[in-house]
Structure 1
Amino acid sequence: MITSIFSKSKSINFIIVFLIALLAFIVARVNLTGEPITMVFILWQIALLFVCYMSILLLNFIASKNSLTLNNSYEILLFSLFLLLIAPTTSSTDIILSNFFILLALRRIMSIRSQKNVKKKLFDAAFWIAIASLFYFWTILFFALILITLVLYSDNKLRHWIVPFLGVITVFVIAISISIVLYDGFFEILDILPGISYDFSNYNSIKYMVAITLLMSFGIWSSIFYLRNIKKKKKDFRASFKIVIVAAIIAFLIVLHAPQKNGSEFLFMFAPAAIIITNYIEIIQEKWFKEVFIFLLLIVPFITLLL
């Protein structure tokens, strides 16, 4: 039943996904927000919800444009369910915006496959990652994804290796200029002394343990088959599949280094995890097992609301 609904890309699927994302957004604000409800607050929350919706559409575009998944809606369904599974991921304005810019960068990185306008794409990817790091510093780790992409495509052109650094420098110069104009200081809007924390005590609750266990167990299990099947993909798209697994590893490193372990840091893992798990769902032959697999992913986020 579930597989028949999301096995093809349909308009109704986006409506369902948007409703799940809306529920996750509301749950996060009911449980985590202590601000007075004003018109400005409501308008800002609507804007953030719009960014979440744009992130979902961007994920769908990246997956379909680069043939990372088949013609289905599993990846956006999983992304929305992950938002509900760990609701605090929609509570941090900085992380929501940072993740959106990372997805914009990932879109440009993936498009390098065509080998057209490579310098522009490299600059754009680095530019978006640098912008993302202004909101959440540790996303600068995704810059390594650009360099790894150049390695995957065996790009030996020196100018292509220089361009990404120019993209980061451009954002750095603009940020300093704005800081001088607005705050009369060089580094007021730059988080040049990022914090690091390895205190995972905030995860010591049933809700977090269930959520993290499901996300990590399903993600790792799916990754085994994902890596095994890369060789079966078309040669032109293999690098794109490798980029996704590297992005997942970088996102995991961000979670480990996050200075505040409140759950919102997991948002960076959702897009690559959704693509990886979707690939596993697509190769499951037994229909009953596929139904059970998706049902667990569907029901557990709603169960965690009661914990």
Structure 2
Amino acid sequence: MSSYNENQPVNSSAFSELTKLEVRRAADNACWACQTPDTDVAHVIAQVDGQVQIWKEAALFNSDTDFKTIANGIALCPTCYRNFDNTADPGFIFFPTDLQFFIDFEINDQDRRRNDAGLRRRVPTAEDYKAHQLRTNTIPSDAKGGLYRCVFLKNFVLGGRFPAIMPDLCKHRTWHGNPIASLRRAFAVLGTPRVYILDKRIRDDLEKLRYLYFVADQPKPIDSLLYDMYRLTPSTTSKRPLEEEQQPSQSPSKKPKLDNIESNTNDRRPTPSNSRTHLHWVLGPEVTTNQVIQMYSPLFSPA
């Protein structure tokens, strides 16, 4: 995904001007995240994303998916744009509120494909997600799309000086685009320290969905060579031998005495070779002149 530079201007040049207008119109000409009127159009799947091919091979995107359409655009102000596009330490993400719909959809689709190996994976589209939420009366009939969770991973809006506005900004809102694209950003956050912001139930649902997409249903691994290299053989597992498991537990007389262990530990004294001081000294107080000469004389001897 795109690299982040705090001072570089935001760039949505891959979108046509008409596409930008449509994305802004879908967001009522305001930042989708913080509602300010000064917006540009961000790529949900970044212009440079090294993982796109993997997602295509997993059939999460079609091979001919065009990421320059309104389905991959979201209107954001410059500040929210930069925090969204900072893939090393994102400050803002969004993803569907009803993750269970995507989990159930994938489980059912795996059952479908299990009966016919030639079938290609199918994932929910923006229309599928919107239709599901219309059926459950979650969104009004005139909604532009399904509901999405607006997640601020950093308190950067207005420099964090007005915390009272955050509950309103964090409310769920509709988005018109490809829900799978938003999950690309959400899955990435699972590997960052800021994942603690998410409720445990949401984290668990994201983890489960990621597992279903990339691990649970991979009859043919995307990279078979590396996949095979890292399979654990029986000799590398941590199982104890059967005869060891069948042995009765140690009698009290055979158990190691904690007092003896502690006393042996306390008797140990740090030596120059294993003490913390040794890690910080190059020429410590115990090094003799002859040792210094032996250490460094080869560096000054003529070639």
| TM norm structure 2 | 0.26
Which one has the bigger strand percentage?
2
Instruction: Work out which of the two has the higher radius of gyration on C-alpha atoms and give 1 or 2.
Output: 2
Greater length-normalized contact order (CA 8 Å, ≥ 6 residues apart): 1
Which one has the bigger helix percentage?
1
| TM norm structure 1 | 0.26
